[in-house]
Structure 1
Amino acid sequence: MKKKPGKARRWLYPAGVERDYTRRLVTIADEAVQAIEPAVLRALGYRADIADPSIDIGWYQGLIQALQAGTSLSPVQDQVLGPLISEFARRTTRFNKQQFHGVLRSAYGVNVLTADPELRDMLSVWESENLELIKSLPTKYVDQLRGQVTAAVQSGKSLRDVVALVKKTGKVTKGRAELIARDQIGKLNGDITQARQQGIGVEEYRWRGVLDGRERSEHVAREGKTYRWDKPPEDGHPGQPIRCRCSAEAVLPDLDDLNALIVH
């Protein structure tokens, strides 16, 4: 008689990995901002101890020099980022593997040994994309500062207003770092989940969300609905949409139908 799967434990999201990656990327972004922002403010003639400062007459040349110098001092370098990104790829993969085997054990009541799917190409692509995304942080920051500050000064904004704009741009850059971290961990976790489930013969999954205030309404509406791995929803499988923390609850086959080795 075939052994049907019981109720499996929930496949958890790597929230701790995401949190640590976010902290590291925000630190990188903050270092880039701190390397550039003070020099930009000096170039504009800003001094915190002056009650009513005015924009320095040579502000544009000083701005360009500050941006060029700040970019050259940027701490975002391949030799630093490469190992960092690889570390978080490994942590996400390891967490996902633990969840995978925990789910199978809870569903069947036996140890299920599976061959790890070939993840090398997937991880290589993910690491390359993350490297480019992180390296783009100071570049985009400099471009935004150049364009926004120039437009603000030329339109007659006061120095106080321009300084506020400069500081806001720094916060936007750090927010973008946070977005990259959260989005990329979710995507990698979702892609590995798909590879592992399809590797043992799972064809369908139930959509499961975090169901908190951050979850988008269209994903809340999918809660518990069944989807096929070969027919994704409009915006992709769990983890693929931007900043998606949802997970795929495998619709498991009978134990004898698993593409795996059973250890009693």
Structure 2
Amino acid sequence: MNDIAMKQAVQAAVKPKFRGNQKLKSKVHTYYPESIEREYQRVTDAYMKLVKDVLKEYLPMIKDALMQEKGNVRKDDIRDLGLVVKDAFDAMHKQLEQKTESFGLRRKLEALAHLTRKLTIKEWKKVVKQTLGIDIMDDYYMGEFYREALNVWVEDNVNLIKTIPKDSLGRMKEIVQEGFKAGKTTNSIVKEIQRTYGIEKRHARLIARDQTAKLHGQLAKAQQTDAGVNEYTWSTSGDSRVRERHRELNGKRFRWDDPPVVDTKTGRRAHPGEDYQCRCVALPVFDIDTINVPIAKG
């Protein structure tokens, strides 16, 4: 069966569901994948723990050096401390590099990407079945359809995450050096190091949320536009974390080729999941004239 004949067959099969209307909204409400976000955050937590493990081993050495220098101020104190700090952080960087290389970050991110793919396929099949009353071909979304999007996402996320531990150590080294020069107490320097670790860990977690939403949104857009869906209804997560502008967009209809304004100050436009930390989703609006779902035989 050629593409035109397939499209006509699909239109004939779903026509009763439209009840004489031109368009039909999804009867299934999809949601932001919080379970995948949690899995991603578990990965970032474990990755950042590598920094914590290295700090736990070398921080006492740095702390002792600081206390000794504080109690025995000589002309060469800063230079001597600098050597101790340099040696310690050089060793920490080397050990951290070994730990991160054996962590398998890319492999873990690939697993998350494929988990997201499976979820979106399951969601999309449910939407099509309950809204249009037809089944999608089982293997349609298994090959090239996702490969490029998943590969790009994995590569981007490896680049976003992999440098955080190394950059964290660099900032901690500066904290020790600048703190000593400024005459800060050893405890205050150590607390600032620990606070920096906490900030970097939260930063990695925010990346996990942002990137989970982006991939989920990208795959949903690919599925819908491939099926001839040109419009969608914006839907928020419905909780207190939804930003005001996104709450204003909730329930409104937009086109995939014309994203709405998500920032009225800058005029920036985006689809659900594309804005930073956006957990909104796009609910498809089917059109009887453009629909072209890969229907299963029988």
TM-score by length of 1: 0.88
Give yes or no for the alignment of 1:28 onto 2:52. no
Residue 151 of structure 1 corresponds to which residue in structure 2? 178
Residue 239 of structure 1 corresponds to which residue in structure 2? 273
Check whether the contact 2:26–2:283 (CA below 8 A) recurs between aligned residues.
Answer: no
User: Offset at 1:105?
Assistant: 1.1
C-alpha distance 105-246 of structure 1, shift in aligned 2 (>3 A) = same
Separation in 1, partners of 2:71, 2:64: 6
Indicate the larger mover: 180-189 or 112-121. Answer: 112-121
Separation in 2, partners of 1:218, 1:155: 44
User: In the alignment, which of 169, 181, 191 is matched to residue 142 of structure 1?
Assistant: 169
Residue 224 of structure 1 corresponds to which residue in structure 2? 251
Separation in 1, partners of 2:85, 2:159: 26
CA displacement, residues 110-129 of structure 1 (integer Å, 9 cap, x when unaligned): 32448327221111111111
Residue 77 of structure 1 corresponds to which residue in structure 2? 101
Check whether the contact 2:210–2:278 (CA below 8 A) recurs between aligned residues.
Answer: yes
User: In the alignment, which of 175, 181, 187 is matched to residue 208 of structure 2?
Assistant: 181
C-alpha distance 16-176 of structure 1, shift in aligned 2 (>3 A) = same
Q: By percentage of residues, which structure has more helix?
A: 2
C-alpha distance 184-261 of structure 1, shift in aligned 2 (>3 A) = closer
User: Offset at 1:54?
Assistant: 4.3
Separation in 2, partners of 1:177, 1:7: 34
Give yes or no for the alignment of 1:124 onto 2:151. yes
CA displacement, residues 143-185 of structure 1 (integer Å, 9 cap, x when unaligned): 2112233222222211121111011011112112211211111
Separation in 2, partners of 1:191, 1:135: 23
User: Offset at 1:235?
Assistant: 4.2
Q: How do residues 1-264 of structure 1 correspond to structure 2 at under 5 angstroms? A: 2-3=15-16, 4=18, 5=24, 7-36=26-55, 38-45=57-64, 54=70, 57=77, 58-74=80-96, 75-77=99-101, 80-113=104-137, 115-116=140-141, 118-233=145-260, 234-254=268-288, 257-262=290-295
CA displacement, residues 90-115 of structure 1 (integer Å, 9 cap, x when unaligned): 00010011111111111123324483
Check whether the contact 1:205–1:226 (CA below 8 A) recurs between aligned residues.
Answer: yes
Equivalent residue of 1:214, what SS?
Answer: coil
Indicate the larger mover: 23-32 or 146-155. Answer: 146-155
Check whether the contact 2:29–2:283 (CA below 8 A) recurs between aligned residues.
Answer: yes
Equivalent residue of 1:230, what SS?
Answer: coil
C-alpha distance 231-101 of structure 1, shift in aligned 2 (>3 A) = same
User: Offset at 1:141?
Assistant: 0.2
Counterpart amino acid of residue 196 in structure 1? Q
Aligned residues: 259
Which structure 2 segments of 5+ residues have no match?
A: 1-11, 19-23, 261-267
Separation in 2, partners of 1:79, 1:161: 32
Check whether the contact 2:237–2:280 (CA below 8 A) recurs between aligned residues.
Answer: yes
Separation in 1, partners of 2:39, 2:294: 35
User: Offset at 1:41?
Assistant: 4.4
Equivalent residue of 2:58, what SS?
Answer: helix
Counterpart amino acid of residue 169 in structure 1? T
Residue identity over aligned pairs, in percent, reads: 26
Check whether the contact 2:62–2:88 (CA below 8 A) recurs between aligned residues.
Answer: yes
CA displacement, residues 7-52 of structure 1 (integer Å, 9 cap, x when unaligned): 51111222111101101211111222321354144213279xx9xx
Residue 263 of structure 2 corresponds to which residue in structure 1? none
Counterpart amino acid of residue 91 in structure 1? L
